[in-house]
Each structure stands twice: as C-alpha cells, then as structure tokens.
C-alpha cells in the first residue's frame, strides 16, 4: 500500500538502502553481542577472565535465534462489515486507533491524477458536517489529540492518538471525518495550491528525479505505480470530485480498524458501535493493479536512458521488474538482496564499489515488493560523472557473480542471522502488532505470514540462493537510468545499449 506507512518484515513499500524491519534498521551483530555479553557478565560472581567465558574473539561466539511470541489481539466484525482488532495495553493512559481503507490512487482517473491524495488530505483538513475545519483543529488541540488521514496507491489510512479520558470524544471526531467530511471549499483550494507548489519544486532534486523516472522506465508512465500528478491534473480536480471519490470508495465494510492502548473492551466496543454502527455498507472497489508490460524491452539488451541535469555527480538506478511478495522465492531474494547491497557496510556492493574502489559514497540495492503489484529489484549509486560507466560495470559484475557461484557460508549465515534476530522489531509496540495483522488481512495473507517467512529463511541453503539468482536476476533486462551532465552521460552509457534522453516537462 504505497503512500501509507505500512511495513512488513522486509520493507514492503519503500526503498531499502539497508535491510529494515518495521522502520528499524537491522541490529548489527556487534550490538547483539554486547547486549548478550552484558547479561552474561552480570550473572557471574567473582573475577571473570575473558578466556573463561570464551570471549577472546567475539566473532566466534554463536547464539540461538531470538524467539519472540507477540500477544494475540482479539478480532471481531461489526454488523456493517467493519473489521475490528483490539489489544489492551495499560502501561500508559493513551489509546491509538488506526484504520486501513480499501481505496487508493490506483483509482484516479487518467486526467485527474492526484485526486485520491487530495481527498485524503482534505478529509482531515476540511472539517465535517457537524464541525467546521477550524473547530476540529481547535478541539483536537484542546484534547491534545492527533488525527491523520491519507490515501496512497493501494489504500487509505487514518490514525487517532488520544488520552484515555478523551477516547469517546476523540472517536466521535475521528468517525465524523471518515464518514462525513465536509471538504470545505477554501481547504480544497489550499490543498490544491500546496500540491501544485510541490510539483513546481520536484525537478530541483536529482535523486528524486532518478526515483520517479526510473519508476516510469520500469512500469510505464501510465501505470499506477509510476504515473504522477501534474499542475494540469491537479487544477482539474474540483470539490465535487473529492466528494464523489469519498462516497464511491470509503465504506465501513472496506475498513479494518485497530484499537490499542489503555481501554476497557466493553466500553470501547460500545463507543465504536455508537459512532460507526449506523454507517451502511457500500460497494467496495476490488483492489486490482493492472499487469505490467515492460516498456521498450526486447529481452536481449538493457534499456538505457538519461536525464539532463547540471550536477557534479551521476545519480544511477539500475534494475528490472521482479516477483510479488507472496512468491515462493521471496525469502531467497530477500537474502540475496541483503548480501548484494541491502545490508550497507557488510554488503558486496559497499565493499567493492565504495571501500575497495572508492567509486561512490552512497551505493546499495533494494527489493520493493507488494502482493498486489509486481515488485522491482534495483541497484543505486551516486558517483562522479567520470566513473559512471565503471560503477555500472561493477553492478553487472556483482550480479553475474551471484548468478555464477554460491554465496559464501559466512555471507549466508550473517544474512540469516540479521534477518532472524531482527524479527522482534516487527512487534515493537501493541499498535505495531495490531497494524501488522491489519496489513496482512488487507493483503490477503495469513496472519502468521511473517513467522512462516522467518522459518523459510532459516532453511535456505546456498544452492537455493544460487537457483533464485539465476531465475530472477537478468542483467540483459536491466533498465539503466542516469541523471547528470548531458555532455558526458551519452558517451559513457553507450557501452550498455542505445542511449536515449528523457526530457522533463517544465513544471510551472
């Protein structure tokens, strides 16, 4: 669900400069060692020598995988089809309510790209039928409560953070904004002006240009995963469009709601039924992202493009389409990506391109996957213009190495250890536990999907990774995109295929 803060064990909707879990970077082995060593020394009495406890070389120490069994939230369904998860936590007098809504920018009309995003913004800022926008802001400030609403590519999200004593009133405001947003005209115009100003500035950042144009190169410019709003498309959006989009896509039977924190189950269910119970069911749109047809691919050589930008560095993106998240090879590709460039300092790309050759300060790889849309696997770097060709050569060489020979025992062990030890960070709080189950249900995955994924990772062998690399990594299918000097790039990129320029449309 792009545009919504949703995470899975291996970064579900976003770039992955390092292997991340639930927004937390993998805990380095050294940190785990220090923590465990500290626990060990605390429990020993009397003088202790390093040799006595086998600490002469920390790299030789081995520990069993971290085991963690998160609490199980209660799941129920209201009469109107709204799914509700409940998990009590009485540590602090706070309550968090989070919602996933079956909507998304994939439903935007081709001539009004940006409609869904604007709808989400003004649902929050534009007041409700019972309260003006100013009154909503004033009351939330008085309650010290926070409400956020947004709509991304595959879903919408909404969150309420409120003190326990104000939960009932917070839920009333929250429900009003979800059910009957007023879309006050002045707030609609303000949101459009802010969107247009953002569009005018987006050509200023070479890295942002590289990301957007690479997505177009991968998916095609008209695909929901790559298309972008323009000043013209945002200008066309009217208040009536926002009202109609909300009425067409936001229904209780398309919402999964999670409540965590300091509450009483009986009281909170009564409050939920009071504010949501009379909301009638509607026709929920089926989430179906169009299949991707690789643009400009002949299967025999890479597609090479560049964007002219007066910059001292080349911003590179190299990659191709890959599997969905529920593919059987996803665990193997996750480890391969970690070994290649996803694990930062210990990855092959970091050691080769940065440490040994000094070609780039920032280098790595990423694996972005979804259950609803085809994923993308890519390599990235920022390098001097003069070393652009050499960096791409190293990208290809490292990928070919993964296809030709197994990874080392040490690489496999480190990747598995990092993956397994980081599992606990998928469940850092009650809200993250409930949010994870909501995500999995929304995507149609089993609730123990992450546990299954972890178990599959543990069983992987070097031969499994080699087979996956040969099956899914294809340098001849690479899309190569570079942002940099037009005086240099065409010549440097010509070694990899026919070079064409992508001309950016002027923005305002």
Query: Which residues lie across from 320 on neighbouring strands?
Result: 377
Alpha carbon distances (Å) from 403 to 80, 299, 377, 475: 52, 18, 15, 10
* Residues sharing a CB contact under 8 Å with residue 331, sequence separation 6 or more, in sequence order: 453, 456, 457, 460
Q: Are residue 266 and residue 325 in the same domain, yes or no?
A: no
- Kindly report the number of other CB atoms within 10 A of residue 361's CB atom: 11
* Residues sharing a CB contact under 8 Å with residue 197, sequence separation 6 or more, in sequence order: none
| pLDDT confidence of residue 21 | 34
| pLDDT confidence of residue 426 | 74
Report the distance separating Cα 285 and Cα 107, nearest Å.
9
Residue 484 lies in a domain: yes
Residue 216 lies in a domain: yes
**Which uninterrupted H or E stretch holds 137?**
helix 133-143
Report the distance separating Cα 481 and Cα 500, nearest Å.
10
Confidence category of residue 7, pLDDT binned at 50, 70, 90: very low
Q: Are residue 228 and residue 348 in the same domain, yes or no?
A: no
CA atoms within 13 A on the CB side of 333: 26
What does DSSP assign to residue 18? B
What angle separates helix 330-337 from helix 409-421, to the nearest 10 degrees?
110
Q: Are residue 387 and residue 347 in the same domain, yes or no?
A: yes
> Alpha carbon 203 to chain centroid distance?
23
**What DSSP assignment string belongs to 151-211?**
E-SS-EEEEEEEEGGGHHHHHHHHHHHHH-B---HHHHHHHHHHHHHHHHHGGG-HHHHHH
Report the distance separating Cα 56 and Cα 443, nearest Å.
48
Higher pLDDT, 46 or 253: 253
**What DSSP assignment string belongs to 189-205?**
HHHHHHHHHHHHHGGG-
Residue 403 lies in a domain: yes
Q: Are residue 405 and residue 477 in the same domain, yes or no?
A: yes
CA nearest neighbour of 174 among 105, 104, 166: 166
Report the distance separating Cα 269 and Cα 195, nearest Å.
38
Q: Are residue 229 and residue 269 in the same domain, yes or no?
A: yes
Q: Are residue 261 and residue 346 in the same domain, yes or no?
A: no
Residue 54 lies in a domain: no
Tell me the per-residue pLDDT of 98-129, one tens digit each, with 9 for 90 and over: 999 999 999 999 999 999 999 999 999 999 99
Confidence category of residue 74, pLDDT binned at 50, 70, 90: very high
Number of domains in the chain: 2
Residue 24 lies in a domain: no
Query: Which residues lie across from 379 on neighbouring strands?
Result: 318, 365
Tell me the per-residue pLDDT of 423-450, one tens digit each, with 9 for 90 and over: 777 788 899 999 999 999 999 999 999 8
Residue 78 lies in a domain: yes
Q: Are residue 356 and residue 271 in the same domain, yes or no?
A: no
Q: Are residue 229 and residue 320 in the same domain, yes or no?
A: no
Residue span of the structural domain in which 360 resides: 303-501
Query: Which of 9-18, 89-98, 100-109 shows the lowest per-residue confidence on average (mean pLDDT)?
Result: 9-18
Query: Which of 123-137, 260-274, 294-308, 414-428 shows the lowest per-residue confidence on average (mean pLDDT)?
Result: 294-308
Q: Are residue 191 and residue 258 in the same domain, yes or no?
A: yes
Q: Are residue 260 and residue 408 in the same domain, yes or no?
A: no
Residue 406 lies in a domain: yes
Q: Are residue 250 and residue 307 in the same domain, yes or no?
A: no
Alpha carbon distances (Å) from 249 to 107, 257, 328, 400, 444: 9, 16, 32, 46, 19
Q: What CATH code is carried by the domain that includes residue 492?
A: 3.30.830.10
Question: SS3 for 294?
Answer: coil
Tell me the per-residue pLDDT of 374-395, one tens digit each, with 9 for 90 and over: 999 999 999 999 999 999 999 9
Tell me the per-residue pLDDT of 33-59, one tens digit each, with 9 for 90 and over: 333 333 333 333 444 444 444 556 776
Query: Any idea how long the chain is?
Result: 508
Q: What is the pTM of this model?
A: 0.84
Confidence category of residue 69, pLDDT binned at 50, 70, 90: confident
Q: Is 85 left (phi over 0), alpha (psi -120 to 50) or beta?
A: beta
CA nearest neighbour of 227 among 157, 319, 153, 291: 153
Q: Are residue 311 and residue 264 in the same domain, yes or no?
A: no
């Amino acid at each position: 669900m792009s545009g919504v803060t949703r995470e899975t064990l291996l970064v579900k909707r976003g770039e992955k400069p390092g292997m991340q879990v639930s927004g937390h970077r993998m805990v380095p082995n050294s940190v785990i060692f220090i923590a465990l060593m500290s626990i060990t020394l605390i429990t020993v009495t009397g003088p202790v020598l390093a040799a006595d406890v086998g600490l002469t070389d920390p790299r030789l120490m081995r520990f069993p995988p971290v085991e963690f069994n998160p609490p199980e939230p209660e799941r129920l369904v209201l009469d109107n089809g709204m799914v509700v998860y409940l998990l009590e936590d009485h540590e602090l007098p706070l309550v968090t309510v989070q919602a996933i809504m079956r909507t998304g920018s994939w439903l935007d009309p081709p001539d009004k790209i940006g409609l869904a995003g604007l709808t989400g913004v003004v649902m929050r800022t534009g007041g409700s039928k019972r309260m003006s926008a100013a009154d909503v802001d004033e009351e939330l400030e008085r309650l010290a409560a926070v409400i956020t609403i947004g709509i991304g590519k595959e879903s919408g999200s909404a969150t309420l953070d409120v003190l326990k004593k104000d939960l009932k009133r917070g839920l009333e405001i929250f429900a009003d904004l979800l059910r009957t947003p007023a879309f006050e005209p002045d707030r609609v115009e303000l949101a459009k002006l802010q969107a247009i100003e953002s569009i005018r500035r987006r050509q200023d950042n070479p890295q942002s240009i590289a990301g957007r144009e690479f997505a177009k190169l991968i998916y095609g410019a008209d695909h929901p995963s790559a298309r972008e709003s323009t000043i013209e498309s945002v200008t066309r959006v009217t208040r009536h469009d926002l009202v109609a989009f909300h009425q067409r896509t936001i229904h209780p039977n398309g919402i999964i709601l999670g409540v965590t924190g300091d509450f009483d189950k009986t009281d909170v269910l009564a409050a939920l039924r009071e504010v949501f119970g009379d909301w009638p069911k509607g026709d929920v749109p089926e989430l179906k992202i169009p299949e991707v047809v690789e643009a400009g691919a002949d299967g025999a050589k890479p597609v090479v493009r560049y964007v002219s930008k007066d910059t001292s560095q080349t911003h590179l993106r190299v990659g191709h389409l890959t599997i969905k998240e529920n593919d059987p090879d996803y665990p193997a590709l996750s480890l391969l990506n970690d070994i290649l460039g996803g694990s930062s300092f210990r990855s092959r790309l970091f050691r080769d391109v940065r440490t040994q050759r000094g070609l780039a300060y920032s280098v790595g790889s990423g694996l972005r996957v979804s259950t609803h849309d085809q994923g993308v696997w890519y390599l990235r770097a920022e390098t001097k213009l003069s070393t652009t060709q050499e960096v791409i050569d190293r990208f290809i060489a490292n990928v070919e190495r993964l296809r030709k020979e197994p990874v080392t025992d040490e690489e496999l062990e480190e990747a598995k250890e990092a993956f397994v030890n980081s599992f606990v960070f998928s469940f850092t709080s009650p809200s993250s536990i409930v949010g994870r189950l909501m995500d999995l249900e929304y995507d149609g995955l089993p609730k123990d999907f992450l546990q299954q994924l972890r178990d599959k990772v543990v069983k992987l062998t070097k031969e499994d990774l080699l087979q996956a690399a040969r099956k899914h990594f294809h340098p001849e299918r690479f899309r190569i995109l570079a942002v940099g000097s037009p005086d240099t790039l065409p010549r440097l990129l010509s070694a990899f295929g026919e070079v064409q320029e992508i001309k950016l449309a002027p923005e305002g």
